[in-house]
Amino acid sequence: MAEETRTPSSHSSGGGDRPDRSGPPRGPRPGGGPGGSREGGRKYFRRKKVCKFCTEKIEAVNYKDVRLLAQFVAESGKITPRRLTGVCTPHQRRLSRAIKQARNIALLPFAGRAL
């Protein structure tokens, strides 16, 4: 078996950096970064979400408190994620456990309303 030596011009396997690439140049986008800052500044200001349970000093999330739990369940019946509600991680765990308990004893519905 003979060793093969490849030169950049002898083989076009599609790999490597080729100077004849078509398309936009790679690298940072103009005006990039989070929020897509453009001319004139930000379009809107998003307030930092804070945990409702921490601010109201609610220690235990009770599965019997249906009015509170229903705020964290979407119309489709899904538990709303942390990034949308702003609840901290430990409270989100307790909240999801309480919602599941309330569903099992029929205080909350498993599925939302059908159209």
Q: Distance between terminal CA atoms of the chain?
A: 70
Percent of the chain with pLDDT over 90: 49
Residue 71: pLDDT over 90: yes
Average pLDDT over residues 85-89: 93
Q: CA-to-CA distance for 55 and 77, rounded, in angstroms?
A: 26
| pLDDT for residue 19 | 60
Tokens at 41, concatenated: 């500044």
Q: CA-to-CA distance for 90 and 102, rounded, in angstroms?
A: 19
Architecture of domain 53-104: Irregular (4.10)
Domain ranges of the chain: 53-104
- Look up the pTM and report it: 0.59
Residue 35: pLDDT over 60: no
Residue 115 identity: L
Residue 107: pLDDT over 60: yes
Q: How far is CA 80 from the centre of its chain?
A: 11
